[in-house]
């Protein structure tokens, strides 16, 4: 593996997959005086849209819209 003239490095897909680094994952480079490490940065949620996008598809409880509405209304 080589660093390009622009300072870029291509990380092999196998390593990215093993580390769970998907496209658009925020990372930070940490230099300890000798080595450089890649560290995942947890995304900062700044607004309602970010929170909704983060939660989309994560629900694991099957509940109907009518049941949600009944819970919301206190029925």
Q: Is residue 62 part of a domain?
A: yes
Q: Which residue range(s) make up the domain with 21?
A: 13-73
pTM: 0.49
Q: Is residue 35 part of a domain?
A: yes
What is the total count of domains within the chain?
Answer: 1
Q: Is residue 19 part of a domain?
A: yes
Q: Is residue 3 part of a domain?
A: no
Residue 68: predicted pLDDT:
87
Q: Is residue 5 part of a domain?
A: no
Residue 75: predicted pLDDT:
67
* Three-class SS of the chain: CCCCCCCCCCCCHHHHHHHCCCCCCCEEEEECCCCEEEEECCCCCCCHHHHHHHHCCCCCCCCCHHHHHHHHHCC
For the chain, 75 residues long, give each residue's pLDDT as a single digit of tens.
899 999 999 999 999 999 989 888 889 999 999 999 999 988 776 788 888 888 888 888 888 889 989 999 986
Q: Is residue 4 part of a domain?
A: no
Q: Is residue 17 part of a domain?
A: yes
């Amino acid at each position: 593996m080589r660093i390009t003239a622009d300072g870029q490095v291509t990380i092999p897909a196998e390593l990215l997959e093993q580390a769970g680094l998907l496209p658009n994952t925020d990372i930070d480079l940490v230099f300890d005086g000798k080595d450089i490490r890649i560290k995942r940065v947890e995304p900062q949620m700044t607004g309602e849209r970010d929170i909704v996008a983060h939660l989309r598809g994560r629900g694991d409880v099957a509940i109907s819209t009518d049941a949600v509405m009944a819970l919301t209304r206190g029925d």
